[in-house]
Amino acid sequence: MTAPNIETIVSLSKRRGFVYPASEIYGGLGSSWDYGPLGVELANNIKRSWWRWLVYERDDVEGLDSSIIQNRLVWKYSGHEQTFHDPLVDCRTCKERFRQDKLHDVACGNHPDKHPGETPDCSLTEAREFNLMFRTTLGAVSSDDDPAALAYLRPETAQGIFINFANVLNTSRRKLPFGIAQIGKAFRNEVTPGNFIFRTREFEQMEMEYFCRPEDAPRIHQEWIDGFQAWLASLGISAENLSLYEQSADELAHYAQRTVDIMYRFFPERDDESKQWDELMGIANRTDYDLRVHSKKPEDAEGKRINPDSTDDLSYFDPQTNERLYPYVIEPAVGVNRTLLAVMMDAYTEKTTDKGETRVILKLTPEMAPIKVAVLPLAKNNEGIVAMAKRLKQSLQPHMRTVYDDTGGIGKLYARQDEIGTPFCVTVDHDSLEDNAVTVRHRDTWEQERVSTDQLQEYLAARMG
Ligand code: GAP
């Protein structure tokens, strides 16, 4: 079972502290969200898994953390100033603005049960282009329009990688093929953000630019498409909720030769199966576009430098072929927030108790679970039991995220931990004081086992996957 819709996750998130509406005490701020105690743990687990898989477990990827605000010229030469647009339409009747290519994702201002353009009174204007980059000004300028002070918040983390290509190459003494990985915030002034954390104006990306020889790019592209499906499966996302989508020529970004999106079934409630899917991540072949446009050497047909502002040449000398070239780039780009939503939707399960009550169980993998173990005293007024439970919490904490909770009866405590995906509850009872053993309860089966406290850490570690 997976969540029946995104709304189910919105309500669980608010109730249990995964994600809250941002600026809530001031009426909120459209499509901005804050990550609570459990949400930040889950997001960190996703980022840690990605980083470990790419940077630590492979031998050909380096990490990077570049600035959110870069020289404006980065965005001039990357093409974002000219082409990073969405088609914007206004409705003359309801006075709202929509992204023309996403009308089926939003509601009409006057008829919330219809999409814009679906009723005769909708009167949409022709589409016009709207640049998605957030503008800001640097320093103490006299006017907000001062072009000399204009800067942008990055709309993708990728450009920070391209402009550091030579730095990383030289300092790490890499040879092709190799990758540079980066996790960080990106900002887009989306026309129609929405669907909870699916599309927001501030979000977090995990991007890797994998540099290779041009002739190897198609094969390597396919390897990363396969590799990322396996990584997403390792997070607990089931294959039946993932699909691949080959972007058509008119959908491709200005830099891409081929892009395959990995889609997740974010909208299972939609009757039309083809509308249930939306992009979880994209894997693009960006060719040598970015390294070329940021280099000082390449010239146009008339012999003029295409980039007269760059001070460096981002080409690569291949010692094996004695040739200088601009490497091709394969870019798997995935959003932390969309991954978190997919992981939660896929883990969501409901179970009916013997008494006919419905319980929510978030069947997260142990790696993803925000809390790995909850230590619960059976009697919170018994000093011996409480002391033993607190001691166990302290001893487990250095090895795995553990909490102590005595704020309810044991049934309620189990139910709370099930709902947030804690794989194991450890209960200390009266017998524990005699036999130095505790009850370990398994989230998914509700089975219980008696385990000696000497063996507890080893027992749990072996089951953390
Ligand atoms: N560097 C390539 C790039 O940025 P993208 O497809 O525009 O490609 C990559 O973005 C991923 O970032 C998306 O697949 C999605 O997971 C995430 N993403 C993009 N825009 C987003 C938004 N407005 N809100 C949340 N996540 C977003």
Q: What DSSP letter does each residue of 22-76 carry, written as one string?
A: TTGGGT--TT-EEE-HHHHHHHHHHHHHHHIIIIISSSSEEEE---SB--HHHHH
CB atoms within 10 A of CB 64: 20
Query: Would you say the CB of residue 232 lies under 6 angstroms from ligand 1?
Result: no
Ligand 1 centroid–CA 456 distance in Å is 42
Q: Which atom of ligand 1 is nearest to the CA of 198?
A: 25
- As a whole number, mean pLDDT of residues 336-364 equals 96
**pLDDT surpassing 80 at residue 465:** no
* 145 — pLDDT class (breaks 50, 70, 90): confident
Measured in Å, residue 198 CA sits from the centre of ligand 1 at 10
Would you state the pLDDT for residue 325? Answer: 98
Mutate to test the pocket of ligand 1, among 33, 183, 259, 338 (most ligand atoms within 8 A of CB): 338
Our answer on whether the CB atom of 337 is closer than 6 Å to any ligand 1 atom is yes
Q: What percent of the chain has pLDDT over 90?
A: 91
Q: In the prediction, which pLDDT does 102 show?
A: 85
Mention every residue, 6+ apart, whose C-beta is less than 8 A from residue 170.
Answer: none
Task: Give 446-451's long-range contacts (Cβ < 8 A, gap of 24+).
Answer: 446/414
How far apart are the CA of 334 and the centre of ligand 1, in A?
7
Q: Examine the pLDDT at 455 and tell me if it is beyond 90.
A: yes
Region 77-98: mean pLDDT is: 92
Mean per-residue pLDDT, 334-340? 98
Phi–psi pair at 449, nearest 5 degrees? -135, 145
Task: Output the six-digit token pair for 314.
Answer: 């981002």
- Tell me, what's the pLDDT at 105? 81
Query: Is residue 263 scored above 90 in pLDDT?
Result: yes
Ligand 1 pocket check for 86: Cβ under 6 Å = no
Cβ–Cβ < 8 Å for 369, 423 = yes
Question: Hey, whose CA ends up nearest to atom 22 of ligand 1?
Answer: 199
> If we measure between CA atoms, which residue out of 373, 382, 377, 362 comes closest to residue 407?
377
Determine if ligand 1 sits within 6 Å of the CB of residue 158. yes
Pocket test for ligand 1, best of 47, 203, 243, 337 (most atoms within 8 A of CB): 203
Mean residue pLDDT across the chain = 96
Q: Which atom of ligand 1 is nearest to the CA of 205?
A: 12
**With bands split at pLDDT 50, 70 and 90, how would you rate the model's confidence at 282?**
very high
Bridge partner list, 180: 62, 209
Q: What is the pLDDT of residue 141?
A: 77
Yes or no: say if 385 and 427 are a contact pair by the CB < 8 Å rule. Answer: no
